[in-house]
Structure 1
Amino acid sequence: MRSMSGAERRARLGVRHRLSPQTRTDDVVDIARSMVVLHATDPATVFLSVAARSVDAVPQAVERALYDDRTLLRMLAMRRTMFVAPVELLPVLQSSTADALAAKQRATYGRTIERGSDIADAAALFAEAEKATHAALLARGEATGAQLSADVPLLRTQVDPAPGKSYSRPTNITTWVLVTLGCEGLIVRGRPNGSWTSSQYRWSPVEAWLPGGIERMPPAEARADLVRRWLRAFGPAPVSDLKWWTGWNAGDVSKALALLDVTEVDLDGATGVALSDDLDPVPAPEPWAALLPALDPTPMGWRDRGWFLGEHGPLLFDRNGNIGPSVWWDGRVVGGWAQRADGEIAVRVLEDVGADAEAAIEREAARMAAWYGDVRAIPRFRTPLERELTS
């Protein structure tokens, strides 16, 4: 069995995730392809993940790819998480994950409506609301949720999401319907109101962005394609990491792997899998520094993170497993960082990395401060070290 040490995996990480200076690029779409998808639960993450992997790119380059060239698109996919994906990957994400997610969302919202209102046939009401909302959006071409709610009375249906609980507050079903239509691939999130840190998106029918809509493909074929891309970017890795990242059940993961030519490898005593044509060593890049944002796709790419995280998890992750801003040196997490109210990038290195590493980290901090400019962004999920650095 081929053995692959943590050091070899870290070399692959630096090269394939475009974090070493020699592999960085200003091609925003190519950066997204390198990571399969970019995490987008926090809108700022998309921009800051590109910043860490680029040379001279600016926020406007990301906005151009998202809203003008439309070569990237936001969608809910794996683990019901928001991602930004290259448009050519949309059929894979739609058929492997989003279609099933749409059905699950519709069932969940239906149960919530029946439990929290006097509506007997929630499924019929929800379907009617979806149809009317889609029609209204086609007529408008682009709209906010508030505008669509004004157009479609059904969206203003009130529901008590947690009957009997003191914290529950009546809510309308606008967001639920829009999220479900988005999962179905019928509507897309467009340019937000506000800066690149905003998540108040305007919605458009998918036809306005992708003539013909999102192509469908056989789900099994789509799952195998997604696994192949993940292994190329994140492999080798234990199957448990792949199962966690996709959010699929064990059967779907096993069936996807069965359609690919994969080889088991030894990962410092654990068993992982790699694409069979991807077993040659990757030459280690020169030592590199990076400041990765909260929820960056690199640290969020695996469930088992010990080989690059060490003992720093409690300071850098919140209780739900979301990573905050992290400082990297040569493939390992060595500290954390935060943007303060005055724009300063505050860094704390948690171990002795040497003078060369500290100088490289300082250069990355200055580069990140320039990317922010006048924009201030607080991560959606606060972590202990990020809070401490900004207190």
Structure 2
Amino acid sequence: MRSMNVAERRARLGARHRLSPRARTDDVLDIARSMVVLHATDPATVFLSVAARSVAAVPEALERALYDDRTLLRMLAMRRTMFVAPVELVPVLQASTANSLAAKQRATYARIIERGSDIPDVPAWFAAVEKAAHEALLARGEATGAQLSADEPRLRTRVDPAPGKSYSRPTNVTTWILVTLGCEGLVVRGRPNGSWTSSQYKWSPIEAWLPGGIEEVPAAAARAELVRRWLRAFGPAPVSDLKWWTGWNAGDVKKALALLDVTEVDLGGATGLALSDDLEPEPAPGPWAALLPALDPTPMGWQERGWFLGDHGPRLFDRNGNIGPSVWWDGRIVGGWGQRKDGEIAVRVLEDVGADAGAAIEREAARMAAWYGDVRAIPRFRTPLERELTS
């Protein structure tokens, strides 16, 4: 069995995730492809993830790819997480994950509406409102949720999500309908109302990105293709990491792997999988430093992170498993960082990394400060060290 030690895995990470200087690029589409998808639960994460992997790209370059060239697209996919994906991958994400997610979302929202309203036939009502909202968006071409609810009054229907509970707050169904339409591949989150840190998006029909709509792909083939891309970027890794990242059940993961040519790899106490044509050692990329944002796709690409995280987890993760801003040196996490109110990038290294590493980390902090410019952004999920550095 091929063996791969931690040093080899870290070398792959630096090169394939475009974090070492020689692997960086200003092609934001290429950056997204390198990571399979970019995490976008926090809007700022997408931009800061690109910043960490580019040489001289600016926020406008990513905005151009998202909203003008439309080579990238936002969508809910694995683990009901928001991602920015290359448009050519959208049919794969839709068939492998989003279609089943749409069914789950519709069922979840229907149960809430049945519990908190007097609508007699909720499934039929939900489908009718979906159709009307979609038609209203097609007529407008682009709209906010408020504009669509003005066109379709049923979107303003208010529901009590937890009847009889003191914490319950009645809410209208606009977002639920639009989120479900998004999972179905009919609508897309477009340009935000504000800066690149804003999460208040306008909505557009999918045809604005993909003129013919999303191509239908067999679900099994789509799952195999997504696994292939993940293994190229994150492998070798245990099957448990793959199952966690996709959010699929064990049966779907096993079936997807059966369609690929994979090889077991000894990871030193654990067995991982790699594509059989991807077993050659990765040339060492040389020492590198990076400041990755909260929820960056690199640390969020594996469930088992001990080989690059060490014992820093309690200070860098929140209680739900979300990572905050992290400082990296040569393939491992060595600290954390945060942006203070005055714009300063505050860094704390949690272990002795030496003078050369310290200087490289300072240069990365200056680069990140330049990306922020006048923008101030608080991570959506706060972690202990980030709070401490920015208090």
TM bin, normalised by shorter chain, reads over 0.9
2:32 alignment partner in structure 1: 32
Residue identity in the other structure for 1:58: V
Q: Distance in 2 between matches of 1:254 and 1:130?
A: 35
What is the deviation of 1:362?
0.1
> Map of 1:1-12 to 2, 5 A cutoff?
1-12=1-12
Gaps of 5+ in 2: none
What is the CA deviation profile of residues 99-142 of structure 1, one whole-angstrom value per residue up to 9, with x for unaligned ones? 11001100110011001111221101110110000000001110
- Whether contact under 8 Å (2:188, 2:204) holds in the other structure is yes
What is the deviation of 1:268?
1.1
1:103 alignment partner in structure 2: 103
What is the CA deviation profile of residues 56-112 of structure 1, one whole-angstrom value per residue up to 9, with x for unaligned ones? 000000000000000000000000000000000000000000011001100110011
> Map of 1:160-175 to 2, 5 A cutoff?
160-175=160-175
Q: Residue 347 of structure 2 aligns to a residue in which SS?
A: strand
> Map of 1:120-139 to 2, 5 A cutoff?
120-139=120-139
What is the CA deviation profile of residues 162-192 of structure 1, one whole-angstrom value per residue up to 9, with x for unaligned ones? 1221110111100000000000010111000
1:73 alignment partner in structure 2: 73
2:205 alignment partner in structure 1: 205
What is the CA deviation profile of residues 285-318 of structure 1, one whole-angstrom value per residue up to 9, with x for unaligned ones? 1100000000000000000000000000000000
2:295 alignment partner in structure 1: 295
2:354 alignment partner in structure 1: 354
Residue identity in the other structure for 2:104: K
What is the deviation of 1:237?
0.2
> Does structure 1 residue 266 correspond to structure 2 residue 263?
no
Q: Residue 188 of structure 1 aligns to a residue in which SS?
A: strand
Q: Residue 294 of structure 2 aligns to a residue in which SS?
A: coil
- Whether contact under 8 Å (2:339, 2:376) holds in the other structure is yes
Q: Distance in 1 between matches of 2:58 and 2:156?
A: 40
Q: Distance in 2 between matches of 1:35 and 1:45?
A: 13
Residue identity in the other structure for 2:147: Q
Residue identity in the other structure for 2:259: L
Q: Distance in 1 between matches of 2:210 and 2:224?
A: 24
State the identity as a percent.
87
Structure 2 length as normaliser, TM-score? 1.00
Q: Distance in 2 between matches of 1:121 and 1:156?
A: 18
Gaps of 5+ in 1: none
Residue identity in the other structure for 1:269: G
Q: Residue 222 of structure 1 aligns to a residue in which SS?
A: helix
- Whether contact under 8 Å (2:73, 2:209) holds in the other structure is no
Q: Distance in 2 between matches of 1:33 and 1:208?
A: 21
Q: Distance in 1 between matches of 2:263 and 2:19?
A: 26
Residue identity in the other structure for 2:344: E
1:156 alignment partner in structure 2: 156
Structure 1 length as normaliser, TM-score? 1.00
Q: Larger deviation: 146-155 or 329-338?
A: 146-155
Q: Which runs of 4+ in 1 moved over 3 A?
A: none
In the alignment of these two chains, the number of paired residues is: 391
What is the deviation of 1:334?
0.1
Q: Larger deviation: 150-159 or 189-198?
A: 150-159
1:282 alignment partner in structure 2: 282
What is the CA deviation profile of residues 250-279 of structure 1, one whole-angstrom value per residue up to 9, with x for unaligned ones? 000000000000001111110111000011
What is the deviation of 1:150?
1.0
Q: Distance in 2 between matches of 1:317 and 1:166?
A: 31
1:61 alignment partner in structure 2: 61
Residue identity in the other structure for 1:128: A
